[in-house]
Chains A and B, each alone.
Chain A
Amino acid sequence: MNRTLVVGALAAVSLLGCKKKDDASATGALAATLDASGATFQKAFQEVAIEEFTATHKQVTINYGAGGSGKGRQDFADKIVDFACTDAPYKPEDAGKVKGGAFLYIPNVLGAITLSYNLDSDKLQLSPDVIAKIFQREITRWNDPAIAADNPGVTLPDLAIVVAHRSDGSGTTENFTRYLSLAAPTTWKLKSGSTVEWSADTQAGNGNGGVAQIVKSTKGAIGYVDLSDAKASGLKYAAVKNQAGKYIAPSVEATTAAGEGIEVQPDLLFSALNAKGDAAYPITAQSWCLVYEKQTDKAKGEAVKAYFKYMLTDGQKLLPEIDFAPLPKSIQDKALTQLEKVQVPAS
């Protein structure tokens, strides 16, 4: 109800704004075109958030190019975009190369990375060591005793495991492999990165959709796919043993729960991977948007600030619909406080 009033008021203001530009800026109607690029992980969120935001701010246009986190960080550092989104922070040696000076990490999305599989069994539980061994091809059949130990009372078939991974460099691969380095440090040997040294007897697909496609079409396949793509492809996914020793299936609630127990640094960097807490789904990835502290253009600065505020407040309500998780209240509050540091020039 309240929101409708605000929308109406803003619409009225922007109508007035058409007549007299000065009036519009005095009453705060936003008018700017923002260019942004970055993570494909939050592309779906950016699409719906931009649609909703620009529906109420009709003179704002936001173009989000989902070219990958690495591209987002590079574009932001070169100052060719107004903001960027990324699944991973800058490396310390690269942070100094950012052309526009001081900038802020604003966390906005949490998302689960599922272990999607293609078996008749509707129930599959996996512990980190077993996942590491499966993806390193040390466990190659579904009836392996190590998998059986995770799944008491379930009989898994004598079937070869087909491992599916990303062919393209990806933040999802980086988060998944980082999770394995954290949760199965002695077993996992491939380290972490946007691409790692997968064994040659595995299959590679392009994008989350490509991996989902391999899992869907191959009996006995397992692959890491983000929750929204796994759901969209109608895949089954495993419950994963978390730090508390509980097997948790990926869901929006379990993802937010992972965010609740984590330590957040003053610059709002954190890792939701391998989170503590009974209800936390352990392979939970996070994403940030980057914004410059000192905005140089009044119209753009105001629009960026308003859009970021929207992403952290009303925008969070859009997340469950697309199978991403909202930030827990504690991180949301910190992010809103951090956003206040953004300075917009008076004229």
Chain B
Amino acid sequence: MRLDLRGPDQLRIPTIVAGLAVLGAGVALTALAAGGPLGVLAWFPILAGLVVAARGTGADRAFRWTAIAAAGIVLLVLGVIALVMIDRASPVLGKMGLAFFTSSRWSAPDAVYGALPFIWGTLYTAAIAVVLSVPISLGVALFITQVAPRWLKKPMVYLIDLLAVVPSVVFGLWGVLVLSHHFGLGRSFLTAGIILGIMITPIITSLAREVIETTPASDKEAALALGCTRWEMITATVLPHSKGGLVGAVMLGLGRAMGETIAAALVIGSALGQITLDPFAPGNSMPAVIANEWGEADDMHKSALIALAVTLFVITIAVNLIATTIVQRSMRRSRGA
């Protein structure tokens, strides 16, 4: 059955204003992203559509178009960013071909750019971060939701959220001063991994806590009523119920760890060509290389750095897709059970 959602007339003006505001933001963003006024052209059809809709049959259709426009902006901006980046990266990709991703020599004076060690560094440090962070994050989340007394719950949540808003450069400097110098870890994959692990802990904790909180009380009570201990209740009801969400939380943390720039640049060691499992070796990651080398880079070098950014972009998207797939599959399974 179709509901008539058309509201009274006074609703229409705020809706149109909101629509135009969204549209304006979209035009500005697109123009900025395209690096010129040409991007604006793409918006004329939608503008026309919006005007017609708003004038035509009322607030409902105006809202519909506004929503479509808002959704379109996100895709368009993403698309334009990707296009511009790929365009700027094309000189080095044309020159190096696939070797950009598979070779490991990075030499600006020779204009030879192989990104494999940096891809390795990004994945390796992010993996260290996740391995260190996940047990702690899940532990904290379970503590807050299942174990902590009520009076401790609120301050704990508040503190964890506070950790999430500390600027990354603060973590980086702390890493240099305390981990590198005081504890003598030097600048290495491990130092970077530890810092990244600390940085993603609050994110994973927050998300995990919210996911765990959605476990129906009836499930938990049923488990307890059957004589489960608290630990058995958690493994029998809470964890299976929140598996998909927890994987999603970890993947979001992983994404953040891979993209982290300043903290990694400060502690990873900036060594070239390192593809090794030795956690104490200095290395480099894609965002750290971009941050370190951009300032004085010449044209081909800049193109290579942008190609690194594109690679990072693609890998992050891939990680997110994998996360989504895992979440969906586990949800289907738990629904089927």
Contact = CB atoms under 8 A, between A and B. Distances in A.
Interface string B273-300: 1100000011000000000111111100
B274 A206 contact: no
A197 interface: yes
Most buried by B among A69, A195, A197, A198: A195
Contacts of A204: 187, 269-271, 282
Contacts of B110: 191, 197
Most buried by A among B109, B274, B298: B109
A223 B269 CA distance: 15
A168 B261 CA distance: 13
Contact of A91 (B296, B297, B298): B298
Nearest to B274: A200
Interface string A169-199: 1110010010000000000001111111110
A198 B295 contact: no
A338 interface: no
B295 A70 contact: yes
Interface in A260-293: none
A3 B154 CA distance: 67
> Could you tell me the dominant secondary structure of chain A's interface residues?
loop
B106 interface: yes
B108 interface: yes
A68 B271 CA distance: 21
Interface residues of B, number: 26
A192 B292 contact: no
Given A203-B282, A204-B282, A206-B266, A169 B292 contact: yes
A168 B292 CA distance: 4
B325 interface: no
A67 B295 CA distance: 7
B87 to A, nearest CB: 18
A174 B296 contact: yes
A68 B107 contact: no
A203 B110 CA distance: 22
Contacts of A67: 295
Given A204-B187, A204-B282, A206-B266, A168 B271 contact: no
Given A194-B108, A196-B108, A204-B187, A169 B294 contact: yes
A236 B108 CA distance: 31
Contacts of B105: 197
Contacts of A200: 271-274, 281-282
Nearest to B106: A197
Given A167-B265, A200-B274, A203-B187, A191 B109 contact: yes
A217 B108 contact: no
Contacts of A195: 108, 292-293, 296
B270 A171 contact: no
A198 B109 CA distance: 12
B181 interface: yes
B295 A168 contact: yes
B84 to A, nearest CB: 17
A194 B296 contact: yes
A197 B298 contact: no
B270 A167 contact: yes
Given A202-B271, A204-B270, A71 B108 contact: no
Contacts of A193: 108-109
Most buried by A among B106, B269, B270, B273: B270
B187 A171 contact: no
B271 A198 contact: yes
Contacts of A190: 109
Interface in B147-197: 181, 186-187
Contact of B296 (A169, A203, A217): A169
A188 to B, nearest CB: 11
Interface string A205-218: 01000000000010
Interface in B105-125: 105-110
Interface string B259-270: 000000110011
Contacts of A174: 296
Most buried by B among A91, A169, A194: A169
Interface of B: 105-110, 181, 186-187, 265-266, 269-274, 281-282, 292-298
Given A191-B110, A193-B108, A197-B107, 8 more contacts: A167-B265, A168-B295, A170-B296, A174-B296, A191-B107, A196-B109, A200-B272, A200-B273
9 contacts: A70-B298, A169-B295, A170-B296, A177-B109, A191-B107, A197-B106, A200-B273, A203-B187, A206-B265
Interface of A: 67-71, 91, 167-171, 174, 177, 190-198, 200-204, 206, 217
Question: 3 tightest CB-CB pairs across the interface, nearest first?
Answer: A169-B296, A194-B296, A167-B270
